[in-house]
Structure 1
Amino acid sequence: MEKVIVNNLNVSKLMNELKEDNKNMQGTMKKIKDISIKSNILALNSGIEAARAGTAGRGFAVVATEIKKFAEDSLNASNESEELIERIQQKANEIIAVRTVDIAFDTIDKIDRNLFERNCDVQAWATFDALIKSLTHPGEDTKQAAQALMENIYTIYEVYFELLVLDLEGNIVATAKDESLVGQNMTGREWFEKTIESDDVYVSDLYYSPSIGGHTIAYSCPVRNEDGKTIGVFSTRFNWDFIFDIIERVKLDQKSQIAVINSEGYIIASKNKEEILEKKLTHLQAVQHILSGKETRGYTIENNCIYAYSLTEGYNAYKGKGWSVIVEESIG
């Protein structure tokens, strides 16, 4: 996969070099056009002077006519060349746009696959006996067993801020890391209420959690007893820095930008972390296309930039949260 990414970067570099050569060619053609216009004016003035000279100026008039014809032919050729250069420039932009759309799709696909694994994690771990017993037989021993298991998971997986077990009343029974959370009540929290209400896995949108000091997503799953009855909730706090890592590894030109946006158009991941949940991109036509449901993948050309976009398709059982990746590529 890394080889493909590097090749894509080379394509971007080559296409930008082609565009730069096109610009230089446009400058050269402008000089030729200016010379043609000046030659035409010179030929016109020469013809006028030859006419004034009468018989003595006939020979010069023939030369002036030929110069005028040459200037007109040169000007026509210059105009045709400019049209050709514009078409080449347009094709170069289209090639860059198609490649940039591929980058947007590849990035959101990587994110979806990562989050799909987190979706599987919470469902699998909610079935562990130690967690179930901490709810069916509450006590210090079962609590410690659940905590030891979650601490082990936390250490091995490295992608979570915290793991929690809660009873049906919303009380935190055990944690993987911060024991001070035990006993706190989460009734009223969307992730808890939605899990109980749907009796199914619930994935929150990105939010900033003061208690863990970072941006996170809550994955929550019902915990069931042997009879299949829901007896509590198991919930994880995914460390969003691992999504930042995916964004950082995307190979782009230095002038290019990449961002993940949520279903409201807010940036939730980019190379500038100060933008997270603070900046909206709804002013872009590309984002408007996504949010309106018109297109799930494509590009727009706005403000001398290509904006490629790709809406999440989810991955297997994980349906996604309506997020998209936007890639900005300058064509100025």
Structure 2
Amino acid sequence: MHAEQVASAENNSSLETVAKLSEMLSAKTETAINQIDHINGETQVLAINALIEASRAGEAGKAFSVVAEEMSRLSRKIVDTTDKLRKESRGAISELKNIIKMQATNIRGIRLSDLALTNIDLIDRNLYERSCDVRWWAKDSSMVSALSDRGNDSREMASKRLGVILDAYTVYFDLVLCDIDGNVIANGRPQQFRSQGTNQRNTQWFESAMNNASNDQFGFQAVHRSPLVNDQMAVVFSCCVRENCQSNGKVLGVLGTVFNWEALAQEIVNKTPLSKEEKSNSRVCIVDDKGTVLADTEGRILEDSIHFAGQGELYAMKKGFVMKKYNDNDCCIAHAVSTGYETYSSGWHSVIIQKLQSS
């Protein structure tokens, strides 16, 4: 169990204990006041009976009548006092319950926003490594040779080299090498993905790489169904292959790395450390600035978008939560924005929507 889970469990346990004690205090206070009322009621009957007997006794009962009237006056004061005590105790206990409820809400929101931050941090750390991979592999001599020689042997060698890389880096569907016109001339898994001969000039990942001034930069295409890998969900990183493997050399072509997005993102959102009960009431997502769902415990990647009242204000915070209606349910909506890792930041949002159970 993670440290934040342990702390949350301890906080929840403490709040539950305080809530139970407040309920017990409320019940005991109410019982005590009711007992006082009962005793006072008997006292009032005695006082009335005493006044009746004193009246019958005439002159001899005058002294006793004074005592009976005093008893009656004290009884009325007790009624006023118990009424006041009942109102004040109920008010105090109600306020205590509200404080407990508020604290429970804050603990829930803080914990969920911490989990949201962990999710987006894990994704950005992983994608940072992917941005490093493509810049490193674009300097591989076999990539330069394949684009310089334009012979079948060098292209086959490049495909084999890409295949060796893929055997070591199982997070990728495929690696593709394009010439300067966007034609795929080699890929790491030619038997599985027949991308060779296709043209990628108009794809975002190819264009963004070609617009970079040096190999210190990289191109990118966010979550999409990539035709390079039979329309599976992918993220593509790209980098120019340059003459003599120099960072600022003449551009010969572009290397694209087709990353298996669902294997990372779905694994992270699905394994968010929530209890079984919480998971049944929660939706864990990664979304872009437009609200488009990029990862989702409900499995609606690119098919849904997340929008709710106060979204702009919440998204403006690095981390936080709000209590809002979502799909007609009272929910705690927790959020964290990507803070980035090293030189990389996706800029995406991590969101956890949890239904509030009625009390």
TM-score, normalised to structure 1's length? Answer: 0.84
Counting only pairs closer than 5 Å after superposition, residues 90-169 of structure 1 correspond to structure 2 as 90-169=102-181
Match of 1:327 among 318, 332, 352: 352
When residues 171 and 271 of structure 1 are mapped into structure 2, their CA distance, relative to the original with a 3 A threshold, is same
Q: Is the CA contact (8 Å cut-off) linking 2:204 and 2:220 kept in structure 1?
A: no
Query: For 1:81 and 1:284, how far apart are their aligned partners in 2?
Result: 33
Identity of aligned pairs, percent? 24
CA distance 1:66–1:251, change in 2 (3 Å) = same
**CA deviation vs aligned residue, 1:77-127 (integer Å, no higher than 9, x gap):** 221122123223322322333333222222211111100000000000000
Give yes or no for contact 1:257–1:327 (8 Å, CA) kept in 2: yes
Evaluate the alpha carbon distance shift between residue 138 and residue 23 of structure 1 in structure 2; reply closer, same or farther with a 3 A threshold. same
What is the deviation of 1:222? 0.6
1:245 counterpart letter in structure 2: E
Q: Which amino acid aligns with 1:225?
A: E
Do the aligned residues in 2 keep the contact of 1:263 with 1:321 (CA within 8 Å)?
no
Local SS of the residue matching 2:291: coil
What is the match of residue 59 of structure 2?
none
1:234 aligns with 2:234: no
Query: Which residue of the partner structure matches residue 313 of structure 2?
Result: 289
C-alpha contact 2:221 2:237 (8 A) present in aligned 1: yes
- Is 1:207–2:213 an aligned residue pair? no
* 3-state SS, counterpart of residue 208 of structure 2: helix
Of the candidates 277, 280, 284, which is equivalent to residue 302 of structure 2?
Answer: 277
Structure 1 residues 217 and 19: alpha-carbon distance in aligned structure 2, compared to 1, 3 A threshold: same
Q: In the alignment, what sits opposite 2:235? A: 217
AA matched with 1:307: I
Deviations 1:125-183 (A, max 9, x none): 00000011110001111011101110011111100011000001110000011352111
Can you give the 5+ residue segments of structure 1 that lack an aligned partner in the other structure? Answer: none
CA contact (8 A) 2:241 2:253 kept: yes
Q: Give CA-to-partner distance per residue, 1:176-199, whole Å, 9 cap, x none.
A: 113521111112222212221334
2:211 aligned counterpart, secondary structure: helix
Q: Gaps spanning 5+ residues in structure 2: where?
A: 53-67
How far did residue 267 of structure 1 move? 1.8
CA distance in 1, matches of 2:314, 2:236: 25
**Compared CA separation, residues 11 and 328, structure 1 to 2 (3 A):** farther
> Which of 270, 274, 290 lines up with 1:248 in the alignment?
270
Native 8 Å contact 2:124 2:346 kept in 1 = no
Q: Is the 8 A contact 2:158 2:186 kept in 1?
A: yes
Give 1 or 2 for the bigger CA radius of gyration: 2
Q: Give, in angstroms, the shift of residue 33 of structure 1.
A: 8.1
Count of residues in correspondence between the two structures: 323
Report if aligned partners of 1:107, 1:246 keep a CA contact under 8 Å in 2: yes
User: Quick one: which of 7, 11, 23 aligns to 2:7?
Assistant: 11
Query: CA RMSD for the aligned pairs?
Result: 3.1
Contact 1:122/1:221 (CA < 8 Å) preserved in 2?
yes
CA distance in 1, matches of 2:146, 2:314: 44
Which whole-Å CA distance do the structure 1 matches of 2:305 and 2:43 have between them?
64
One-letter code aligned to 1:314 = G
CA deviation vs aligned residue, 1:267-320 (integer Å, no higher than 9, x gap): 2112222x21122112253x42355xx3222221224433221111221122x2
Structure 1 residues 103, 60: CA separation in 2 closer, same or farther (over 3 Å shift)? same
Q: For residue 195 of structure 1, what is the aligned residue in structure 2? A: 209
Amino acid at match of 2:178: L
